[in-house]
Amino acid sequence: MLGILFLYSLLYGLLSAEDYALLMGSLLVFVVLSLIMMLTRQVNWYRGKAEEE
């Protein structure tokens, strides 16, 4: 519930700041992509291929 409230307030702030919407949206995408990359850096993406050979 808290995550949805945070996301809603973030999107509301993004839409209400018309002059900085592109900058804020780009920063948001950068942060989300960085978090995904940090969370998945230990995943061995080729594990399934090595077992087949």
Count up the domains in the chain and report the number: 1
State pLDDT tens for residues 9-48. 988 887 888 888 788 889 889 999 999 999 999 988 888 7
- Counted residue by residue, the chain has a size of 53
Give the residue numbers spanning the domain of 24.
Answer: 2-52
Q: What is the pLDDT of residue 50?
A: 59
pTM above 0.75, yes or no: no
Helices (H) and strands (E) in the chain, counts: 3, 0
* Confidence class for position 51, pLDDT limits 50, 70, 90: low
Return the pLDDT at 22: 86
Give yes or no for a contact between 25 and 14, defined as CB atoms under 8 angstroms apart: yes
